[in-house]
């Protein structure tokens, strides 16, 4: 078509696909039922993407800092970390079994599993504190060495994300124990569980980072 | 996060003053709150720049109220170089974060994203409220830096270590003031992340029926891509800020090398790298440029189409260009670091990637001009500001091509050429986008029309003024005038450039004075302006289908349905010269 002509005449001629059929508005979800559940999950995944970037930045800083100079001494990992890892994995498993129980309608079993998962999460945090105490007892502080700086920093930042997850776990737990876990609260259960698995995987990643480059 | 915070649960309009105007969860109120926060910040930042311009031209002037305001920084009324640097730091930080990042995205985006996609509110209204108040707290902490011991920091808005990582030994303001700066920026990062999560979830999941991605107004596309940039960029800046704070307070050495002697004191650090900060900072910092400018591009596209009474030229190309700019924006941070001793091959790679951004930028500019071509343009004030945006984007962008070449950047980098470049493209262009958005949406936000006569006088004065300020700075840069210097009288060759500085300072004073017209226009229009109809500009997007200002739940309990794209103007065979997106026929 004569593009210059259509431009200069000021009249726009439709190009590409024809206009949509009026009674068939495709596209958006309409914000109706299920929109808030989907939006909550989108929010969760987007938040997880930003947390990944946050830790990726620390990781690249660690790799660069480690490669830069000859003052890097590996930090000995406290033995309790392995117990903590087992606790965290167990808590994720408990939440997952709880969700299965909920899907099967077994509310009491759900309450037991979820409470167990929450307690295991709290134990993980306590265990991380003990790991710090062990390192401090060995005379290794945050400023001792770049390796120990990254160890304290990354475990602390991870613990903050765990603490956020604990708040969500407790919220669901209180709702469940007060028998207020109606169908509309299922999103809270699912989102909390997915987030918890995510910080769980994040911990495994950090542990590998400490093992390989710590 | 529970579903009680999600939007489809009907929430009723609050009646108490505090819930309605202060701790509101209504996106329209939050948008206006952000907008006022940015308005306060822009005048604060502009005031600081005037003080700097004054000092450059009259370095020995004794001003009694300087001494009152800064007993140490301006003893006897004469500004010290340290005070100058602290003004520069605060000017940059306030403008970049609390104006350029806040108004176009959080201000207008909050106000109009849900309206334009046919949603009742943002996906997470409570998170939205927290995001605003965290931003407010961040601004309060930053301004507090003026009042702590030593005053505001000197490190520039980029806060380069080693000096920013050392504490008070590095100079006045580098103790408590620098801590305020870092805490403020960390809070701002948190607020921006919350906002970004909200924007993305809202746009992805709460679009009304019929609002496919390719029927979104280009404003929504810009806010969407900007939110993705914020999400990925601010997370990295937050990491960097935490590392910097630890170097200062915990004795770590992430950014501090061994053997530093500062102010005759040996520093007890070793092994760190100041360059690490630069990489982390600019990985955020370059996308930040697009966080500032993309919403302005969206507003400009919208306004050009509405007031040219023509569909936007090449809608899909515009969408792909915005996405392309956003993606490439993450690959070019190294061009801020050509001076850092970077391997020339790496610099070459960054340079080529930087040039590549010229392609989507040129597509956008071409399409804006294509939209205007042969149109019967309605020259309203908002259209003038949108045209001004295009002009500034071109003139500011062209100097970017020079700076993207490592060989040229080595010469230009620390001169006024860079100051001219980034002020035109990032600062003034984005602010023209904000003015355009304000004049365009004021009727919808406040239900009143703004005064066109005052608006046009304000536009012409501002448009001529900013070019008078920033065009000569290119010449200063080419003549070798370094930036960040407090005064030039010590150096003979710079003494010859002083008349240019004097001209710039007077232009700055006049342009700043012209902004009073904008404030008068705002107050007068709010108070006495003509009542706005639902659709005063005869535009097609969803926000113009509801009353001005819109009801609390946006669409008065109805669910809008969209049948067509956002730019259907001058359609052959249509009864009017515009067809609303909700028009099924």
- Residue B208 with chain A: CB contacts under 8 Å: 28, 30-31
- Mutation target to probe the A interface, by most A beta carbons within 10 A, among B11, B124, B224, B239 is B239
CA B233 from chain centre, in angstroms, equals 15
pLDDT in the model for residue A7: 45
Query: Could you report the predicted ipTM of this complex, rounded to two decimals?
Result: 0.93
Q: What is the pLDDT of residues B216-252, one digit of tens each?
A: 999 999 999 999 999 999 999 999 999 999 999 999 9
Alpha helices in B58-107 (DSSP H): 64-69, 81-93
B490 exposure class (CB count in 10 Å sphere: 0-12, 13-18, 19+): exposed
In whole angstroms, give the CA distance from residue B559 to residue B260. 64
- Residue B204 with chain A: CB contacts under 8 Å: 38-39, 42
**Cβ separation B207–A157 shorter than 8 A:** no
Whether residue A45 is contained in a domain is answered as: no
pLDDT in the model for residue B358: 95
Q: Average pLDDT, stretch B207-211? A: 94
| Regions of chain A with pLDDT less than 70 | 1-27, 29-34
pLDDT in the model for residue B11: 57
- Residue A33 with chain B: CB contacts under 8 Å: 8
Q: A residues 170-209 near B, CB within 8 Å? A: 171, 184-185, 187-188, 191
In whole angstroms, give the CA distance from residue B206 to residue B210. 11
Please determine, for residue B123, whether its predicted confidence score (pLDDT) is greater than 70.
yes
Q: Average pLDDT, stretch B262-286? A: 94
Q: A residues 45-84 near B, CB within 8 Å? A: 46-47, 49-51, 53-58, 60-61, 64-65, 68-72
Count contacts between A and B (CB, < 8 Å). 215
In whole angstroms, give the CA distance from residue B304 to residue B539. 11
Show the domains of chain B with their CATH numbers.
25-545 (1.20.210.10)
Q: What is the token pair recorded at B546?
A: 């509801």
Of B330 and A5, which is predicted with more confidence?
Answer: B330
**Cβ separation B572–A13 shorter than 8 A:** yes
CA A139 from chain centre, in angstroms, equals 32
Q: Average pLDDT, stretch B6-11? A: 46
Please determine, for residue B436, whether its predicted confidence score (pLDDT) is greater than 60.
yes
- Residue A60 with chain B: CB contacts under 8 Å: 279-280
Given a contact cutoff of 8 angstroms between Cβ atoms, the answer to whether B87 and B45 are in contact is: no
Name the closest residue on chain B to residue A193, using Cα atoms.
Answer: B1
Using the Cβ of A9 and the Cβ atoms of chain B, whether some distance falls under 8 Å is answered with yes
Using the Cβ of A133 and the Cβ atoms of chain B, whether some distance falls under 8 Å is answered with no
Q: What is the pLDDT of residues A14-36, one digit of tens each?
A: 556 655 555 556 667 665 556 78
Distance from CA of B304 to the nearest CA of A (A): 14
**Cβ separation A146–B235 shorter than 8 A:** no
Using the Cβ of A5 and the Cβ atoms of chain B, whether some distance falls under 8 Å is answered with no
**Cβ separation A8–B234 shorter than 8 A:** no
Using the Cβ of A39 and the Cβ atoms of chain B, whether some distance falls under 8 Å is answered with yes
- Does an H or E element contain B262, and which? strand B261-262
Whether residue A155 is contained in a domain is answered as: yes
- Residue A57 with chain B: CB contacts under 8 Å: 235-236, 239-240, 280, 283
Given a contact cutoff of 8 angstroms between Cβ atoms, the answer to whether B95 and B45 are in contact is: yes
Name the closest residue on chain B to residue A36, using Cα atoms.
Answer: B6
Domain span holding position A178: 85-213
- Residue A30 with chain B: CB contacts under 8 Å: 207-209, 559, 561
Of B145 and A13, which is predicted with more confidence?
Answer: B145
Name the closest residue on chain A to residue B276, using Cα atoms.
Answer: A61
Assign 3-state DSSP to chain B and report helix, strand, coil percentages, each to 5.
65, 0, 30
User: Which among A20, A60, A146 is the nearest to B253, CB-wise?
Assistant: A146
Beta-carbon neighbour count of residue A4 at 10 Å?
A: 10
- Residue B260 with chain A: CB contacts under 8 Å: none
| CA-wise closest residue to B243 among B284, B205, B202 | B284
> Domain total for chain A?
1
| CA-wise closest residue to B247 among B273, B285, B284, B278 | B273
**Cβ separation B272–A65 shorter than 8 A:** yes
**Cβ separation B209–A53 shorter than 8 A:** no
- Residue B283 with chain A: CB contacts under 8 Å: 57
**Cβ separation B239–A40 shorter than 8 A:** no
Distance from CA of B480 to the nearest CA of A (A): 35
- Residue A149 with chain B: CB contacts under 8 Å: 246, 250, 252-254
User: Which among B204, B258, B311 is the nearest to A42, CB-wise?
Assistant: B204
Residue A179 maps to which CATH number?
Answer: 1.20.120.80
Whether residue A77 is contained in a domain is answered as: no
- Residue B2 with chain A: CB contacts under 8 Å: 171, 185, 187-188
**Cβ separation A53–B562 shorter than 8 A:** no
Backbone angles phi, psi at B276, to 5 degrees: -60, -45
Q: Average pLDDT, stretch B464-480? A: 97
Largest Cα–Cα distance of chain B, in whole Å? Answer: 80
Whether residue A56 is contained in a domain is answered as: no
Whether residue A171 is contained in a domain is answered as: yes
% residues pLDDT > 70 (chain B)? 98
- Mutation target to probe the A interface, by most A beta carbons within 10 A, among B113, B235, B569 is B235
**Cβ separation B204–A39 shorter than 8 A:** yes
Please determine, for residue B175, whether its predicted confidence score (pLDDT) is greater than 80.
yes
Whether residue A189 is contained in a domain is answered as: yes
User: Which among B206, B251, B273 is the nearest to A31, CB-wise?
Assistant: B206
Please determine, for residue B384, whether its predicted confidence score (pLDDT) is greater than 90.
yes
| CA-wise closest residue to B4 among A138, A70, A40 | A40
pLDDT in the model for residue A15: 59
- Residue B206 with chain A: CB contacts under 8 Å: 28-29, 31, 35, 39
Whether residue A104 is contained in a domain is answered as: yes
pLDDT in the model for residue A183: 73
pTM (predicted TM-score):
0.94
Looking up tokens 């008065």 gives B556
Please determine, for residue B3, whether its predicted confidence score (pLDDT) is greater than 80.
no
User: Which among A7, A39, A65 is the nearest to B374, CB-wise?
Assistant: A7
Name the closest residue on chain B to residue A8, using Cα atoms.
Answer: B374
């Amino acid at each position: 078509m004569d593009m210059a002509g259509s431009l200069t005449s000021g009249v726009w001629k439709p190009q590409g696909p024809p206009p949509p059929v009026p009674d068939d508005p495709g596209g958006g979800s309409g914000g109706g039922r299920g929109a808030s559940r989907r939006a909550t999950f989108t929010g969760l995944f987007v938040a997880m993407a930003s947390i990944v970037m946050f830790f990726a930045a620390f990781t690249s800083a660690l790799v660069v800092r480690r490669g830069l100079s000859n003052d890097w001494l590996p930090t000995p990992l406290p033995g309790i970390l392995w117990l903590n890892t087992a606790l965290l994995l167990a808590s994720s498993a408990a939440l997952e079994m709880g969700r299965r129980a909920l899907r099967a309608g077994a509310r009491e079993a759900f309450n037991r599993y979820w409470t167990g998962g929450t307690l295991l999460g709290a134990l993980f945090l306590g265990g991380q504190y003990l790991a710090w105490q062990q390192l401090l007892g060995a005379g290794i502080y945050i400023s001792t060495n770049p390796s120990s700086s990254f160890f304290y920093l990354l475990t602390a930042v991870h613990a903050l994300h765990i603490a956020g997850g604990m708040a969500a776990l407790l919220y669901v737990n209180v709702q469940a124990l007060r028998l207020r876990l109606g169908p509309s609260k299922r999103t809270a259960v699912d989102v909390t569980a997915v987030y918890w698995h995510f910080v769980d995987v994040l911990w495994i990643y950090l542990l590998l980072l400490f093992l390989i480059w710590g | 996060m529970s579903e009680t915070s999600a939007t489809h649960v009907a929430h009723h309009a609050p009646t108490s003053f505090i819930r309605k105007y202060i701790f509101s969860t209504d996106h329209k109120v939050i948008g206006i709150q952000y907008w006022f926060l940015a308005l306060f910040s822009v005048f604060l930042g502009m005031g600081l720049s005037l003080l700097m311009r004054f000092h450059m031209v009259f370095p020995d002037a004794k001003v009694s109220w300087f001494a009152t305001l800064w007993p140490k920084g301006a003893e006897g009324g004469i500004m010290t170089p340290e005070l100058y640097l602290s003004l520069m730091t605060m000017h940059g930080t306030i403008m970049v974060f609390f104006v350029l990042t806040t108004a176009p995205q959080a201000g207008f985006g909050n106000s109009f994203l849900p309206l334009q996609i046919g949603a009742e509110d943002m996906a997470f209204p409570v998170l939205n409220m927290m995001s605003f108040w965290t931003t407010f707290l961040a601004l309060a902490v930053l301004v507090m830096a003026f009042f702590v011991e030593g005053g505001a920091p000197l490190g520039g808005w980029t806060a380069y270590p080693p000096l920013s990582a050392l504490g008070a030994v590095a100079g006045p303001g580098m103790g408590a003031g620098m801590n305020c700066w870092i805490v403020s920026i960390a809070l701002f990062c948190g607020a921006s992340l919350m906002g970004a999560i909200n924007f993305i979830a809202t746009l992805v999941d709460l679009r009304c029926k019929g609002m496919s991605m390719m029927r979104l107004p280009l404003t929504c596309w810009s806010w969407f891509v900007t939110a993705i940039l914020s999400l990925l960029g601010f997370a990295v800046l937050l990491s960097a800020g935490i590392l910097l704070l630890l170097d200062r307070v915990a004795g770590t050495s992430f950014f501090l090398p061994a053997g530093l002697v500062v102010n005759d004191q040996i520093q007890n650090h070793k092994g760190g790298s100041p360059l690490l900060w630069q990489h982390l900072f600019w990985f955020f910092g370059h996308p930040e440029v697009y966080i500032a400018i993309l919403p302005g591009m969206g507003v400009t596209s919208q306004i050009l189409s509405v007031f040219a009474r023509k569909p936007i030229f090449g809608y899909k190309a515009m969408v792909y260009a915005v996405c392309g700019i956003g993606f490439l924006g993450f690959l070019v941070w190294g061009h801020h670091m050509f001076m850092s001793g970077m391997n020339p091959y790496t610099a070459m790679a960054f340079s080529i990637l930087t040039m590549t951004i010229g392609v989507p930028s040129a597509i956008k500019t071409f399409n804006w001009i294509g939209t205007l071509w042969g149109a019967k343009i309605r020259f309203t004030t908002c259209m003038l500001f949108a045209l001004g945006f295009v002009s500034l984007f071109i003139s500011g962008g062209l100097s970017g091509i020079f700076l993207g070449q490592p060989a040229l950047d080595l010469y230009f980098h620390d001169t006024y050429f860079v100051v001219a470049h980034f002020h035109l493209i990032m600062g003034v262009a984005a602010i023209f986008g904000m003015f355009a958005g304000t004049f365009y949406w004021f009727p919808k936000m406040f239900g009143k029309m703004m005064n066109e006569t005052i608006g046009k006088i304000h536009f012409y004065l501002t448009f001529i003024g900013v070019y008078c300020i920033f065009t000569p700075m290119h010449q200063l840069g080419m003549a070798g005038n370094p930036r960040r210097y407090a005064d030039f009288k010590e150096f003979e060759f710079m003494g010859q450039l002083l008349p240019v500085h004097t001209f710039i300072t007077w232009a700055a004073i006049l342009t700043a004075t012209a902004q009073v017209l904008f404030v008068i226009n705002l107050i007068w229009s709010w108070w006495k302006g003509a009542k706005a109809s639902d659709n005063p500009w005869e535009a097609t997007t969803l926000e113009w289908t509801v009353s001005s200002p819109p009801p609390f739940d946006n669409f008065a309990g109805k669910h809008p349905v969209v049948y067509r794209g956002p730019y259907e103007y001058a359609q052959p065979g249509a009864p009017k010269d515009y067809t609303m997106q909700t028009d099924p026929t």
